Structure 1
């Protein structure tokens, strides 16, 4: 409220006070309506902020995964995961990025073009790669096809050391298989330069055997790989039985090359009659890994790992290879360091929503508390003029209390009482606006009660005093 205070206090007490009314004070009902709207707007804003935070926290996170080559088993498994994650409305979704093979996938991860990749463990692992899961384990299979009927048989090959000067067919176009063969040959003292290597796809195996293009074959894949099984079947001429070459130095190779492990191929795993192979076969194995880019959110990778192993059982019927998915090696000396998010899932230390965001929630509450305190101070600061005006009017009321006790005029007392009513209206409005507290209102009420008592007593006293004689004579003369 704005009062013309200068006019109020410029007049002397002898001239009598002037009753001044406030200029356009807002009604308490209007103030309450505004405060209600402000509180409602603040509540809606808070609910909107919480809803937005929850939406962004629960919003599906798309991860790009590099996989190849096209039409491979890896691509089929990834496509099945994409469909399963989408169907179950999981928080992590996959976006396949097809590549030419594991080498290209590793490069895409190293360049930061994808978030996940399926790579071979025996290739150069990108420095920013962190293991999430082992997709499958692959074994190396070396075999010699049976001699064709009607043709002079070459000296029989029964050992890897006899491959010097021979032609070896490598199934698969990737250079990783050539590198694998060279490691095996060197372990047995065979100079890789003295061995002719021919790479071809599985569809070319039958033609290679028919034309006697190669003396032995190498295939790398899962134990139950259809590609390897088809290649062995195609190389078995006229029902003959191929000769499988055992890699009995597998443990030594694993010691020199940590990306490889010693493994065994069970007897009869490739079928046929007689069984192929006819006895357990020592060999080396390596893994295909699902790796994530270093720096990717721990919570995101933990969620992906959890989804992966939860959906694995559903995929086994259509994709038996899904049964081979294993948790990553969490040891500190692992060939590929494990991603912290995947390690948290494997070790059962995955953080909950409150664990991840408790610090943010705590700091948000502290911030809201600070903002509330600042807002209260600012509101009090904005009402300082109104509070000061009311304090001045309260002092005026106390002054009028002293004047009323000595006043000789009923008109003066009426004017002061009207002014006190205006001050009362202003005080109540200030209380409604929050400019003054309940304690100040109580103090004002005491002063106002004393003022009204003083006015009533003074009016009673003036009514008991007889009029002056001179004044009475003038009235009689008139």
Structure 2
């Protein structure tokens, strides 16, 4: 006995639902997972690495969408190279030391000013007065030597890194490494005549160093010497910047300095790869400034973080030290919306959903055709059973036919209850059931028609 099974459309709906759930899960995972960026920091033991490690910890603590993986380097030249070579997404750099061609600024972590502090009795009142003198420079600041050497050369002085035992030539200035704790003694013993600082003037470190020079001065008077020809120096070294040390910054009685001191300086900057997405660059910049107060509780240098100066967007992107468009979006409050940021993903999900919908529609159509074919097969079988029953005389065979008619009728009934069925096809099946059933019954009851 053949049994015809009428399939339902539940499989199609489950397949379509599973596909949609997979697409939604992939999209949700992509939208919600944190993005990890590699950050190259330098110099080892410096202020900037401490600040950015605290920043990375705060991002993780707040469970924000950005995570930072820290790579430490001895100097800013190496951190700049890490960005240039693609080993890092972000880096701490100092433009006057090394500026990677693919780096765009996000924020100024610390601005530096170059100036000389000397006991007033030394007679040093300008850079040319350093001729034949010994100029102390902090031993740990290797990045400062090139800057100081270039400033000396601008005024016709040869910077000597090898300190002569005899007098320094009148055409040169000797750069003498000195530790911060040894500044007062070195000045008092004549090992150095003045101290050059390349630092943030408002920092506690700058105040300490000026205090050491003051202690070495017989009358406590200190002279601060800047670079009055800043425009000329900047024309030759455009990655530097003009800086002003405000009057009375290091004391108001007596005022130190007595007047504003114009000089030049550099900066430590947080830069990003030029091809880093605008939304990620804006997010990194935004979180850094929003967390500045919290970070300052553990790393006071966070107070020095500021934005690169620019007049308008064109100026920001065409400057000698251009700013990342994502950082500009944050500074000008034009950050991408959710739709703009995930536009590609939204289109992809829409396309996939459309494809899944088309597939489900095709499956429904195909399964519907199969269902119709099965009902048609069942109807044809019922009509065939009717014809066979009219010629059949074996009672046992007629009873088998009666059972098959009942099975076919039950299968069609189950389908009618569970699935929409075309009235025309259901009507034909009903007529076929009745015809087959009555024919088999008549064959069983007619005399001589059911011999056994």
Cα distance between partner residues in 2 of 1:206 and 1:420: 114
**Which residue of 2 is the match for residue 249 of structure 1?**
229
Which one of the candidate residues 141, 144, 160 is aligned to 2:127? 160
Per-residue CA distance 1:406-457 (angstroms, 9 max, x = gap)? 99x9x9x9999987656544544566786xx632x4344157449859999x
Q: Does 1:50 align with 2:24?
A: yes
Residues 1:103 and 1:200: Cα distance change in structure 2 (over 3 Å)? farther
Q: Is the 8 A contact 1:158 1:245 kept in 2?
A: yes
Q: Is the 8 A contact 1:220 1:228 kept in 2?
A: no
Q: Cα offset for 1:205? A: 1.5
Q: Is the 8 A contact 1:167 1:198 kept in 2?
A: yes
**Which residue of 2 is the match for residue 438 of structure 1?**
421
**Which residue of 1 is the match for residue 376 of structure 2?**
391
Which one of the candidate residues 45, 50, 61 is aligned to 1:87? 61
Cα distance between partner residues in 2 of 1:443 and 1:75: 79
> The residue matched to 2:342 in structure 1 has which SS?
helix
Q: Is the 8 A contact 1:130 1:339 kept in 2?
A: yes
Q: Is the 8 A contact 1:251 1:261 kept in 2?
A: no
Q: Does 1:134 align with 2:108?
A: yes
Which one of the candidate residues 281, 300, 305 is aligned to 1:301? 281
Q: Cα offset for 1:136? A: 1.9
Q: Does 1:78 align with 2:52?
A: yes
Larger radius of gyration: 1
Q: Does 1:228 align with 2:228?
A: no
Cα distance between partner residues in 1 of 2:149 and 2:52: 31
Q: Does 1:354 align with 2:328?
A: no
Q: Cα offset for 1:308? A: 0.7
> The residue matched to 1:276 in structure 2 has which SS?
coil
Cα distance between partner residues in 1 of 2:257 and 2:225: 10
Cα distance between partner residues in 2 of 1:388 and 1:88: 61
Q: Does 1:285 align with 2:265?
A: yes
Cα distance between partner residues in 2 of 1:268 and 1:255: 29
Q: Does 1:110 align with 2:79?
A: no
Pairing 1:204-215 to 2, within 5 Å after superposition? 204-215=182-193
TM-score normalised by structure 2 residue count = 0.77
**Which residue of 1 is the match for residue 323 of structure 2?**
338
Cα distance between partner residues in 2 of 1:56 and 1:359: 12
Residues 1:280 and 1:415: Cα distance change in structure 2 (over 3 Å)? closer
Q: Cα offset for 1:311? A: 0.7
**Which residue of 2 is the match for residue 145 of structure 1?**
119
Q: Is the 8 A contact 2:409 2:433 kept in 1?
A: no
**Which residue of 1 is the match for residue 163 of structure 2?**
none
Structure 1 residue runs of 5 or longer lacking an equivalent are: 1-20, 148-153, 461-478
Cα distance between partner residues in 1 of 2:223 and 2:378: 113
**Which residue of 2 is the match for residue 268 of structure 1?**
248
Cα distance between partner residues in 2 of 1:115 and 1:431: 63
TM-score normalised by structure 1 residue count = 0.74
Per-residue CA distance 1:374-410 (angstroms, 9 max, x = gap)? 3443565577666445435545667899999x99x9x
Cα distance between partner residues in 1 of 2:75 and 2:193: 27
**Which residue of 1 is the match for residue 165 of structure 2?**
none
Cα distance between partner residues in 1 of 2:401 and 2:24: 56
Residues 1:101 and 1:398: Cα distance change in structure 2 (over 3 Å)? same
Which one of the candidate residues 124, 132, 143 is aligned to 2:98? 124
Which one of the candidate residues 193, 199, 203 is aligned to 2:181? 203
Q: Cα offset for 1:333? A: 1.5
Residues 1:321 and 1:451: Cα distance change in structure 2 (over 3 Å)? closer
Residues 1:455 and 1:347: Cα distance change in structure 2 (over 3 Å)? same
> The residue matched to 2:318 in structure 1 has which SS?
coil
Q: Is the 8 A contact 2:382 2:436 kept in 1?
A: no
Per-residue CA distance 1:242-283 (angstroms, 9 max, x = gap)? 222232111222233222222211112122742221221111
Per-residue CA distance 1:300-353 (angstroms, 9 max, x = gap)? 322211111111123345544323222245512222333333233223232233
Cα distance between partner residues in 1 of 2:371 and 2:29: 44
Per-residue CA distance 1:82-139 (angstroms, 9 max, x = gap)? 3322332222233333322322322332333333221112222012222111112111
Pairing 1:311-322 to 2, within 5 Å after superposition? 311-322=291-302
> The residue matched to 1:277 in structure 2 has which SS?
coil
Cα distance between partner residues in 2 of 1:401 and 1:388: 20
Q: Is the 8 A contact 2:104 2:324 kept in 1?
A: yes
Residues 1:196 and 1:374: Cα distance change in structure 2 (over 3 Å)? same
**Which residue of 2 is the match for residue 100 of structure 1?**
74
